[in-house]
Amino acid sequence: MIKRLLLPVLALAAVFLGGCLHSKKNSSPKDSTITGEVETDFRQRWIDKRAAELVSQGKAESVARTQAATEFHDQYEYLPAPKK
């Protein structure tokens, strides 16, 4: 009698417990995409703000943007350069 129940019990255990092994959450590319978007947004906002400050001090807009980008890179060099 025990032998007759053993096979169905093992089959049910395999069905219900088998999915647990594969349901672990892996680090998805979506996480790195969101991180990249946040870094890009931060970089853009920071450069825009600094460029506006430099323009208000009398610099030409193109010169101000270049200087702001250089200052950003110097201050936050751990962030990767923007992809072109």
DSSP structure string for 36-82: HHHHHHHHHHHHHHHHHHHHHTT--HHHHHHHHHHHHHHHTTTSPPP
In a domain, 82, yes or no: no
Instruction: Report the run of H or E that residue 29 belongs to, with start and end.
Output: helix 29-56
According to the model, what pLDDT value does residue 26 have? 60
In a domain, 83, yes or no: no
Query: How many domains does the structure of the chain reveal?
Result: 1
For 62-82, the pLDDT digits (tens) are 999 999 999 999 998 766 665
In a domain, 18, yes or no: yes
The answer to whether the Cα torsion of 57, 62, 68, 70 is positive or negative is negative
Q: Which domain holds residue 49?
A: 2-75
Residues of the chain whose pLDDT is less than 50?
Answer: none
- CA–CA dist 69, 51 (Å, integer): 8
Tell whether pTM > 0.75: no
In a domain, 84, yes or no: no
In a domain, 80, yes or no: no
According to the model, what pLDDT value does residue 25 have? 59
In a domain, 70, yes or no: yes
According to the model, what pLDDT value does residue 71 have? 95
Question: Mapping DSSP to helix (H, G, I), strand (E, B) and coil, where does residue 28 land?
Answer: coil
